[in-house]
Chain A
Amino acid sequence: MVLRSGSHLLIAFTFFFFFSVLFALSTLGTETLLHLIAPSGIWISLLISVLLTLNKIIHQEFENGSTDFYLLSDFPLEIILFFKTIVHWITVAIPILLIMPFIMIALQIELEKLFVLLTIIFIGSPALSFVGIMISCLTLSNNSSFLITTITIPFYFPTLLLGIYCTNNTDLDNMSLAYVLLSLNTLFTITISPFISAYAVKLHYS
């Protein structure tokens, strides 16, 4: 269904591309500076493209009445929301992972790091989707995407900090703890997100 509505997928993808290019351009070609900010650039572009697509998932369905049917059906709301978030992650993060090699060339990151970088983003990015869906479920009553964006950003601090830390220090040896923490962070958000979003949706209807 997300594929059929389609358009936001392309927007997120294009936005990520434009934002990375913007980061590269903002250094005015200074390579040392580009080396320093490239990992942060990738993470922040990822964050913005996730944020942009968030209100499409929950709010659109809330407005066209699909959420009412989810509540009426016997199927647990938690599981529906869990799969919705997975779909959101697949449609937003996977295309971005696919063009990562080209972005890396543009941002002057060595291609040997490709596998490590892909792994880190693959581990870290589900947390972005899950936290985002959780917060957008909270703000069902208010439709402004500006509000959602504003109040979601503080919740991205843990993921973003760990992600950028991991991406920045790929050559260090003792990084295993940071990777473990990053995956723990993701697992934690995956665990709490469906329950809290379902709780928030039910509260909104009660």
Chain B
Amino acid sequence: MSPKLIDTFWEFSNPTKFKRLARYVIPLSAGIALTCIVVGLIWGLFYTEPDYKQMETVKIIFLHVPAAFVAINTYLVMTIASLIWLIRRHYISLLAAKAAAPIGFMMTIITIITGSLWGSSTWGTFWVWDPRLTSFAILLCFYLGYIVLWSALNKLETASNVTSLFCILGSIFALLSRYIVFFIDQGLHQGPTLSLDEEKNIDNSYYFPLILSLIGFSALSIYLLFIRTITEINIHRISLVEKRGESGA
């Protein structure tokens, strides 16, 4: 990456420039999300053959895998945003991390609900303490902790450093627990659905709608992230104006 490109990236730490960027990103990501999710889901749900063993239940994959993908990557986004806040003190990145948490939380919930619906018909149980399921429960705990911390500390000045440190430490400890859970037992969840290795991949008839809905979910999360960040910026500005009014009076 050339230094010039990095400089343009840092320019978005200016709220006005960020809002200008958002004016392009929001409709674009909304469009991509809508088309990809609608096409991907309709293709996936109605125009693919049911699996010979799992029948129609296999089609829940088109919701489950993208939601899981977004849930994990949202935490990554939060960690990076918190790091940027701690190092460079751009408060937009802090607000973006705050805005991202509920999105990731909801995606984790969606993953768990779709997974347990699928599990109830295939494994015969809604929930087992399998490594993959356990690591999602752990991820859910860290999302909850982050949101609780924000709501408990309330003010931006006190909460900012604490929540970002919590987020960064949380990512380290969540990864640690994930590997330990995998060390303890292998479990019955199947391996990763998508991989760069051709032979391990799922069949092409499932692959393309899955990729479409994956792109759709990512675009959806970007759309939500931008909308929520803009809202947080506006809330922050209003509180600043109110404070100035109080001190002036």
The chain A residues found within 8 Å of chain B, CB to CB, are 134-135, 138-139, 141-142, 144, 147, 150-151, 153-155, 157-158, 161-162, 165, 177-178, 181, 185, 188, 196, 199-200, 203-204
A156 to chain B, nearest CB (A): 9
Inter-subunit contact B161/A185 (CB<8 Å): no
Inter-subunit contact A181/B158 (CB<8 Å): no
Q: Is the interface of B mostly helix, strand, loop or mixed?
A: helix
B160 to chain A, nearest CB (A): 9
Residues of B within 8 A of A134 (CB): 169
A20 to chain B, nearest CB (A): 24
Which of the four size classes fits the interface of chain B?
Answer: 20 to 34
The chain B residues found within 8 Å of chain A, CB to CB, are 138, 141-142, 145, 148-149, 152-153, 158, 161-162, 165-166, 169-170, 173-174, 176-177, 180-181, 183-184
> Top 6 closest A-B pairs, CB basis?
A157-B177, A154-B141, A141-B158, A158-B176, A203-B161, A151-B145
Q: A157-B138, A161-B177 are in contact. Are A200 and B165 (CB under 8 A)?
A: yes
B177 to chain A, nearest CB (A): 4
Candidates B141, B152, B165, B174; contact of A142 at CB < 8 Å? B152
Q: Which residue of B lies closest to A204 (CB)?
A: B161
Q: How far is the CA of A61 from the CA of B165 in the complex (A)?
A: 22
Inter-subunit contact A150/B153 (CB<8 Å): no
Q: How far is the CA of A7 from the CA of B154 in the complex (A)?
A: 33
Inter-subunit contact A155/B169 (CB<8 Å): yes
